[in-house]
């Protein structure tokens, strides 16, 4: 019997018991089998905008309701070859365009911590599956925060690698999206990421004092729970011997540019406009009216600000940056702000500039507010994921941080 057979069976049983209520999966491979390799004894849940051979590939849209993939995305192929059992496909908003996980063809995904609360988005199904114990790894994509947002909302660890570190077949017209892992611990994320980039996981030779820039306030305002989680993380890292210093944070100009860039990228989807839901249809229509100058001007403006806010401090003064992951705590499913709206900006104000800076970042669980998870984001230098994971693991070990079993599924 291959190693991990019991794990596969346990996760399939958990899916059978929990998912009729959580709706994290849109397709379950009940014939999934364990195999040998460095990831033997693990399972993987894949966001339904990535192809997995023989499984549905809907992108959360009626436009592709009946599409079946004929191949594995390279990241999935590497995880499969390393021995992880691919359990199925997970829910997402249509075209991955929301900070929640609801669409017109599948039931909305619930947060494992509380019924009726969003798991975040757009990789919300994958994050919920991991948090609820229905998969070892969740695989998703992150363009404007879509790994880090649900990681924070569900109380798991989510890594956004540097741009182009993980191979994928998915074409992103905006040049911002990455394929990335979620898991319950930094150690598990490290294992998955190593396989996905085909590198042996590395660790720094010594636990040196790091220079860390901390953002706690913005012009948009930060919810007290988000700010307090970040302050506790900063205090903990300071007490551990690192050099911690406050920095300024700006996101409004990035959000304005992203609004144009994202609309333009959505206009590139090759499908009949009438087959999209009303909200997406409107954004696609707006995107199809944009011209090349609109796109490149918006992209340049957003990138210039992101370079100033994120890359300049990293290159000139700091090894890492620390922020809240989100500007607001998890909210009710019906309260999720419309994609690219004004309220949406406050929610994503810390994750979005990092995407345009193209550097790696990780969301780490940082306790609870009103019984729901809150996360903090650590940002590193370009292609320095292993060093970023080292610091994340150090923070995770400190009391008050790291994964907790969701009370909603106990």
Annotated active-site residue 146? The verdict is yes
Pairing of strands 137-142, 43-47: parallel
Inform me whether the pLDDT recorded for 3 exceeds 70. Answer: no
Work out the burial of residue 209: count CB atoms within 10 Å of its CB; fewer than 13 is exposed, 13-18 middle, 19 or more buried. exposed
61, 98, 123, 146: which is the annotated catalytic residue? 146
Annotated active-site residue 47? The verdict is yes
CA pair distance 309, 307, nearest whole angstrom: 6
Annotated active-site residue 84? The verdict is no
Q: Across the chain, what does the average pLDDT equal?
A: 96
Across residues 21-38, what is the average pLDDT? Answer: 97
Across residues 218-242, what is the average pLDDT? Answer: 97
Across residues 60-66, what is the average pLDDT? Answer: 96
Q: What is the pLDDT of residues 107-163, one digit of tens each?
A: 999 999 999 999 999 999 999 999 999 999 999 999 999 999 999 999 999 999 999
Between the alpha carbon of residue 270 and those of residues 64, 153, 191, 280, 359, the distances in Å are 10, 32, 35, 13, 29
CA pair distance 15, 159, nearest whole angstrom: 24
Q: What is the pLDDT of residues 159-212, one digit of tens each?
A: 999 999 999 998 888 999 999 999 999 999 999 999 999 999 888 766 689 999
Q: What is the pLDDT of residues 75-110, one digit of tens each?
A: 999 999 999 999 999 999 999 999 999 999 999 999
61, 122, 123, 126: which is the annotated catalytic residue? 122
Tokens found for residue 6: 């019991």
Long-range contacts of 302-306 (CB under 8 A, 24+ apart): 302/253, 302/254, 302/256, 302/257, 302/258, 302/261, 302/356, 303/257, 303/356, 305/250, 305/253, 305/254, 305/257, 305/353, 305/356, 306/254, 306/353, 306/354, 306/355, 306/356, 306/357
Across residues 5-33, what is the average pLDDT? Answer: 97
**pTM exceeds cut of 0.85:** yes
Between the alpha carbon of residue 168 and those of residues 5, 39, 44, 165, 296, the distances in Å are 28, 20, 16, 9, 24
- pLDDT band (50, 70, 90) for residue 1: very low
């Amino acid at each position: 019997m291959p190693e991990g057979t019991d794990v596969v069976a346990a996760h399939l049983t958990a899916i059978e018991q929990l998912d009729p209520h959580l709706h994290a999966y849109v397709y379950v491979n009940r014939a999934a089998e364990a195999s040998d390799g460095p990831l033997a004894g693990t399972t993987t849940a894949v966001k339904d905008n990535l192809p997995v051979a023989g499984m549905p590939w809907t992108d959360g849209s009626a436009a592709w309701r009946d599409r079946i993939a004929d191949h594995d995305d390279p990241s999935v192929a590497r995880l499969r070859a390393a021995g992880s059992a691919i359990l199925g496909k997970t829910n997402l908003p249509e075209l991955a365009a929301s900070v929640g996980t609801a669409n017109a063809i599948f039931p909305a995904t619930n947060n494992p911590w509380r019924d009726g609360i969003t798991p975040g988005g757009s990789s919300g199904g994958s994050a919920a599956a991991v948090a609820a114990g229905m998969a070892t790894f969740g695989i998703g994509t992150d363009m404007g925060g879509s790994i880090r947002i649900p990681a924070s909302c569900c109380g798991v660890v989510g890594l956004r690698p540097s741009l182009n570190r993980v191979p994928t077949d998915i074409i992103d017209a905006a040049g911002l999206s990455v394929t990335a892992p979620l898991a319950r611990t930094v150690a598990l994320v490290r294992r998955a990421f190593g396989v996905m980039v085909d590198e042996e996981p590395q660790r720094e030779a010594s636990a040196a004092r790091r220079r860390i820039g901390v953002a706690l306030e913005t012009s948009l305002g930060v919810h007290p729970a988000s700010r307090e989680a970040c302050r506790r993380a900063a205090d903990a890292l300071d007490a551990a011997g690192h050099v911690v210093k406050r920095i300024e944070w700006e996101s409004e100009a990035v959000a304005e540019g992203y609004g144009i860039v994202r609309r333009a990228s959505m206009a590139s989807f090759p499908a009949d406009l009438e087959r999209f839901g009303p909200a997406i249809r409107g954004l696609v229509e707006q995107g199809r009216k944009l011209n090349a100058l609109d796109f490149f001007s918006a992209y340049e403006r957003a990138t210039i600000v992101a370079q100033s806010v994120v890359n300049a401090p990293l290159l000139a003064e700091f090894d890492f940056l620390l922020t809240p992951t989100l500007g607001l705590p998890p909210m009710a499913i019906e309260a999720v702000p419309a994609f690219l709206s004004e309220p949406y900006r406050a929610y994503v104000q810390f994750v979005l500039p990092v995407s345009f800076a193209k550097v790696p970042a990780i969301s780490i669980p940082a306790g609870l507010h009103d019984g729901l998870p809150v996360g903090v984001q650590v940002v590193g230098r370009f292609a320095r994921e292993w060093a970023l994971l080292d610091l994340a693991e150090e923070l995770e070990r400190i009391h008050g941080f790291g994964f907790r079993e969701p009370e909603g599924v106990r």
